[in-house]
Amino acid sequence: MTVDEAFDRILDHRNRANPYPLYADLRRTPVARLRDGTYVVSTYREITALLHDPRISSDPANLPDGTGEAPTGLPPSFIRLDPPDHDQLRRLAMRHFGPPHTPDRIDGMQPQLREITDRLIDGFADRSRVDLVDDFAYPFPVTAICALLGVPREDEPRFHTWADAIVEAIDPAAGDLAERRRKDNRARAELAGYLATLIEARRRQPGDDLLSGLATDHAPEGPMSLPDLLSTAVLLLIAGHETTVNLIANGMLTLLRHPDLLVRLRGEPTMVIRLVEELLRYEPPVQYLPSRAALDDIEIAGTHIPKGSQVRLMLAAGSRDPARVHEPERFDPGREQNEHFGFGGGVHYCFGAPLARVETYLALTELARRLDNPRLVTDPPPYRPNSVLRGPRHLLVDIDGVRPA
């Protein structure tokens, strides 16, 4: 199979349930040029090198003509910027999210996260079948990110539609690029308008939420401008739940396929930390980074990547690279060393990783502990169409009951 054929099949939704043999085909050529001039990088060592290479840009303005993003009226969020602009905006956002300025933000949310988890699972009590995506893996992180940011939970139906359009825009498998851009631009503009109203209200009457902190901050290096604040808020609202939905759903699917581990987790909840790290390696919610650009000529793995080329970093392929991982196709939470790309790497390492980890620890341990005899209804389950953000669209599970919280 050629590299082009393998990549085309990765984009094909019919292979979404198990793309990993196709990633193995890609790894035969660590750095390869597709017919459209894009370079795909699929081995651990080479992905690591490029994630830390300043010649690889995350700014879509540096992509080849016709493949970058169209103007949206907002500046790019910090994940779409390069240093030093990226570093400044990320520091300003982190002041209200984690150490050193707000070290207790995530720990302080744990009672609230547990209350959300208990309430959702309590809702299964009179049911024999649940959809762990619609009934848990989606509402849990959505409710959490709304609480963190200070976004009214009852507004979820509004931003759900916008989030779907924005997420679809990053997927090369989603059809016409111009149409994806049009939907993305409209969704970002409408979501930004919604958030601008919330931000103005927080400036008049701040609370202890993240939007209030960002809106009223007077950091020594200067507060965020309103356009930067809006871009950051859009990013945090969407990224703050989209990937965690997949991580939790992938996690429960994997545990249901390994019932011995599900039983073990029920009696040994501390194993969840290593289990989630293995999950991030084995079934990552982000499969690849589709839009990086070469700022200069790059020589890597015997391949010349010309300046201006589009580069795709195949994170899920790298995390299963047998040159780096012993028995990479085996799910093994007992691995002594587990280096993976589940949260990316380099300067763009996932901003929300601490929250995603805590949410997933709690979700998996409580579902394992409280669901009585859970069984998969369909395996494989139906998958979301997105080839970048991969996870089940539904995860139907039969249960015999629910144990008390």
Here the CATH number for the domain that contains residue 91 is 1.10.630.10
Query: Does 91 score more than 90 pLDDT?
Result: yes
Query: Can you give the pLDDT at residue 93?
Result: 95
How far apart (Å, rounded) are the C-alpha atoms in residues 400 and 372? 5
Q: Structural domain tally of the chain?
A: 1
Residue 336 CA to residue 340 CA, distance in Å, equals 13
pLDDT of 361 > 60? The answer is yes
Burial class (CB in 10 A: 0-12, 13-18, 19+), 385: middle
* Residue in the block written with tokens 């992905």: 47
Residue 362: inside a domain, yes or no?
yes
Question: Would 169 be classed as within a structural domain?
Answer: yes
Bridge pairing between strands 129-131 and 289-294: unpaired
Per residue in 59-74, pLDDT (tens digit) is 988 988 655 555 567 8
Q: Which domain holds residue 348?
A: 70-287+323-402
Establish if 237 belongs to a structural domain.
yes
* Per-residue pLDDT tens over the stretch 166-193: 999 999 988 787 888 888 889 999 999 9
Integer Cα distance of 84 and 61 in angstroms:
16
pLDDT at 73: 74
Do 386 and 168 touch, CB atoms closer than 8 A? yes
Could you tell me what percentage of the chain is helix, strand and coil, using 3-state DSSP and rounding each to the nearest 5?
A: 50, 10, 40
- Write out pLDDT tens, residues 30-64: 999 999 999 999 999 999 999 999 999 999 889 88
Q: For residue 136, what pLDDT is reported?
A: 98
Contacts (Cβ under 8 Å, ≥6 apart) of 298: 50, 53, 55, 56, 304, 305
Say how far apart CA 357 and CA 276 lie, in whole Å. Answer: 8
**How wide is the angle at C-alpha 351 spanned by C-alphas 347 and 352, nearest 5°?**
155
Which residues make Cβ contacts (< 8 Å) with residue 324, sequence separation at least 6? 44, 45, 318, 339
Residue 11 placed within a domain? no
Please state the pTM of the whole predicted model: 0.95
Q: Is 9 within a domain?
A: no
Residues 34/28, Cβ–Cβ less than 8 Å: no
Secondary structure (3-state) at 196? helix
**For 70-79, 121-130, 288-297, which range has the lowest pLDDT when averaged over its residues?**
70-79
Answer whether 231's CB lies under 8 Å from 92's CB: no
Residue 35 lies in a domain: no
Q: Tell me, what's the pLDDT at 67? A: 57
Rg (C-alpha) for the chain, rounded Å, is 21
Q: Is residue 1 domain-resident?
A: no
**Amino acid at site 179:** E
Q: By the 8 A CB rule, do 316 and 20 touch?
A: yes
Task: Tell me whether residue 270 is in a domain.
Answer: yes
CA angle 276, 281, 286 (to 5 degrees): 100
Check: CB of residue 330 under 8 Å from CB of residue 257: no
